[in-house]
Structure 1
Amino acid sequence: MLKLELIELADLVHPEQLVDAIIQQNPGIELPIPIEELARLAGITKIEPLESVGFEGTLIANAEKSAGAIFYSSRSPRPRQRFTIGHELGHFLLPWHRQTTFNCTAEDIGSRANKDWEIQANQFAAELLIPQKLLKPRLHKFQDPELDHVLTLAEEFGTSVTMTAHRLAEQSDYPCAFVFSKDNQVRYSVKSAHFAEQLCVWKGNSLPAGSPSRQQTSSHDEWHELDSTWWLKERRGGEFPEMVYEQTLCQEDGYKITLLAYE
């Protein structure tokens, strides 16, 4: 049975601290994380989809932040809706998010967020939906990162493949990077802390001409080996990887996720 002792969360100001306390209160929590039940225990009395073009999520709370309502876009896929609910719950629980109403766009609830409170709410949602304490043992079991691991974790945690790839990069103990692209043009990339090299492709660049990631179709579990200079910026001094290994997941509408790794 889930529980949420709000008094124990009162003095916690960082998203990771809040989630750690929630998970500690619920050591046997089931997956996917029951985000709506946790929100109700926190004081959210209404969680409903809403038909809207101009917003992704909304929080309406009373002045004391003791009760509130969350609305999310009915048009979004279920993993996106779960993330939106987590995002708005972050606004509700984070103590310096003092507004009583938050109207969040798709840009706010995503990698392009540029307001501090939106970034923090995204951090809270990501941490709550894939808690570090539950993710780390799974990554240790998997060892070397693979796209299959991303798909497995996304299914287990009820999250999007994109968000799951972000979390794997954040928590991986191996040098890996994910490059997100559309129509063979780089949108952005994320790297693990152990990926010490600089990529030589940036937002707006085409995927490297020598990379199999440019193919229209691919098997996401197939590894390709190629000269590292197709992906990595050359440097002087120290050891520089000779080869880079890549896997690519082709998604709908020209979207792709490419995983990079090196020895």
Structure 2
Amino acid sequence: MVQLDLIELADLVRPEQLVAEILRQNPQMPVPVPLEDLARLAGISKIEAFTSEGFEGALIANATKSQGAIFYSNRGPRPRQRFTIGHELGHFLLPWHRQAKFQCTAEDITSGGNKDWEIQANQFAAELLIPAPLVKTRLQKLKDPELAHIMALRDEFETSMEMTARRVVELSEYACAVIFSKDNVVRYPVWSPYFTHRLCVKKGERLPAKSPSREAASDPDEWHELDAHWWLVERRGEDTPESVYEQTLVQENGHKVTLLTYDPE
């Protein structure tokens, strides 16, 4: 059973501070994180699905932000609905989000657009749904990065593949990166602090010609070895790995997730 002392949250203004305090109050936080229970303890009296073409989520609160209701689109998969609820809860708890009413589009919840409060609400949702301390504990046991590990954590935390992959790579102590693509065109990459070599593919560019990630089907458990120059920039005076190892998960509608790693020098 989770608990929430709102007084301890009152002076915290950043998403990571709020989540850190929630975790401090709940040292045995269940997984998946009981989002609805935490929201109700925060003062959310209603959490309800709705049908809307224009909005992904909404928050309606009283003037003092002591009570409120959260609405989320019924169209998306459960991980996306959970993220939307977390996003709206972020609006409710972050003290400088002073509006009593938020109506958030798919773009707000996917990328945050150019609005600081939407970006912060997304940060809060990610931190709360897949908390760094819980992920790090699991990664220490799993050791080498693999797509199978990311998929297992995705199922355990009830989060999307994309959010889980990003979180795993950002927190990994191994040299690894993940490339998100659609129709073999790079959407964006994310890499760990230990992935110190620069990628030679950028947003909007096609996946490397010789990479198995271009194939229409894949076994996400299978590793492929590729000459490093297909993925990494070769710099004079810098020791570049000879090979890069990759795994790819082919998803729906042309989306793919490619995990890269290399042996440390």
| 1:157 corresponds to | 157
Maintained 8 Å contact 2:51/2:75: yes
Number of aligned residue pairs: give it.
263
Question: For 1:173, what is the secondary structure of its paired residue?
Answer: coil
> Contact 2:112–2:118 at 8 Å: present in 1 too?
no
1:17 alignment counterpart: 17
AA partner of residue 209 (structure 1): A
Q: CA deviation at 1:112?
A: 5.7
Q: For 2:237 and 2:120, how far apart are their aligned partners in 1? A: 38
Aligned to 1:132: 132
Q: Report what 2:235 is aligned to.
A: 235
Structure 1, residues 107-143: CA drift from partner, whole Å, max 9, x if none?
1112363321111111110110111111111011111
SS in 1 for 2:237: coil
Identity of aligned residues (%): 68
> Matched residues in 2 for 1:111 and 1:201: separation?
21
Match of 1:182 in 2: 182
**How far apart are the structure 1 equivalents of 2:259 and 2:113?**
23
Q: Structure 2 regions of 5+ residues with no counterpart?
A: none
User: Structure 1 unaligned runs (5+)?
Assistant: none
Is the partner of 1:144 in helix, strand or coil? Answer: coil
Q: Which residue of 1 aligns with 2:172?
A: 172
Instruction: Give the match for residue 7 of structure 1.
Output: 7
Tell me, in whole angstroms, the C-alpha distance in 2 between the residues paired with 1:246 and 1:95. 43
Q: Counterpart of 2:253 in 1: which secondary structure?
A: helix
Once the two structures are superposed, residues 56-78 of structure 1 have per-residue CA deviations (whole angstroms, 9 ceiling, x without a partner) of 11111111110111110110100
Q: Are positions 1:258 and 2:227 aligned together?
A: no
- The runs of at least 4 aligned residues of structure 1 exceeding 4 Å deviation read none
Deviation at 1:244, TM superposition (A): 0.6
- RMSD between superposed Cα atoms in Å: 1.0
Structure 2 Cα separation of the partners of residues 71 and 195 of structure 1: 39
1:78 aligned residue = 78
Q: Name the residue aligned to 2:108.
A: 108
Would you say 1:148 and 2:148 are equivalent positions?
yes
Tell me, yes or no, if structure 1 residue 93 matches structure 2 residue 93: yes
TM-score (norm 1): 0.97
Q: Give TM-score, length-normalised by structure 2.
A: 0.97
Corresponding residue SS for 2:106: coil
Name the CA distance, whole Å, in 2 between partners of 1:113 and 1:153.
27
